[in-house]
Amino acid sequence: MVHRVALITGGTRGIGLGIARCLAREGYALALNGVRPAEAVAGVLHELREQGVPVEYFPADISLTEERRRLVEAVRERFGQLNLLVNNAGVAPQVRADILEATEESFERLLRINLQAPYFLTQAVARWMIEQKRADVHFPACVVFITSVSATVASVNRGDYCISKAGLSMAAQLWAVRLAEFGISVYEVRPGIIRTDMTAPVQERYDRLIAEGLTLQPRWGTPEDVGKAVAMLARGDLLYSTGAIIVVDGGLTVARL
């Protein structure tokens, strides 16, 4: 059986793992990227392989140009094709600081990891996808950017994160425009408050806000909520919607009086 292949950055934990689980159920072979050593993710790889699909782990720091290049080459060598890129990897500020006090070092770190890395990884992957489309016009190819409601919802104690996600949202639009002529769809999936290790430090605060009505659906989102949205896009359910923003936030950003 020939599987479609998905490369998921940050694919062994949190939202990325939720996406990987959903894509495995869709029959995708998985190329998972992260920065942890291989032995630290062995259990996750075993779990996903039990879905009956090929799963490989490619450790690489995609904020570094050379490591991005090696990642794409390694995926190409192992699988020979790539149908789906999910730009999921991202980090929160190491310190949540008011923008009156925030440092340039934190700003530069978040922009490099959360924006520059996926922007240029997409460039490298897009060139390969175009090559595949030219060889076979029917070759299915798609790019998904995982952003955040912080792309439009201002949080003054993590301005660097908000700006990185706003920039990533524009990157998704830019790549949708540029790749349309090749028949490569590009989407943005915009999660809200998702229960992961990244949000664990603020769990008590968001428990209270959700109980007070922050979201229309009174619960935390799960990584699988996001994964199901990506799976829908990967199946081609929205083929006439390139450039679309899929909001997975339980109604958090619905304007209300």
Per-residue tens of pLDDT for the chain, all 257 residues: 678 999 999 999 999 999 999 999 999 999 999 999 999 999 999 999 999 999 999 999 999 999 999 999 999 999 999 999 999 999 999 999 999 999 999 999 999 999 999 999 999 999 999 999 999 999 999 999 999 999 999 999 999 999 999 999 999 999 999 999 999 999 999 999 999 988 888 899 999 999 999 999 999 999 999 999 999 999 999 999 999 999 999 999 999 98
- The answer to whether 58 touches 32, Cβ cutoff 8 Å, is yes
The pLDDT score that the predictor gives to residue 243 is 98
SS3 190: strand
Q: Is the pTM of this model over 0.95?
A: yes
Cα-Cα-Cα-Cα dihedral sign, residues 132, 137, 138, 140: positive
Residues 6 or more apart whose CB falls under 8 angstroms from that of 113 comprise 62, 63, 89, 90, 91, 164
The pLDDT score that the predictor gives to residue 201 is 87
Residue 119 is among the residues annotated as catalytic for this protein? no
Task: Output phi, psi for 162, to 5 deg.
Answer: -60, -45
SS3 86: strand
The pLDDT score that the predictor gives to residue 198 is 84
- The answer to whether 88 touches 9, Cβ cutoff 8 Å, is yes
CA–CA separation, 256 and 224 (whole Å): 27
Domains of the chain with bracketed CATH: 5-248 (3.40.50.720)
Amino acid identity of residue 177, one-letter, is: V
Q: Which is catalytic among the residues 28, 161, 206, 240? A: 161
Q: Please provide the size of the chain in residues.
A: 257
Task: Quickly count: other Cβ atoms within 10 Å of residue 137's Cβ.
Answer: 9
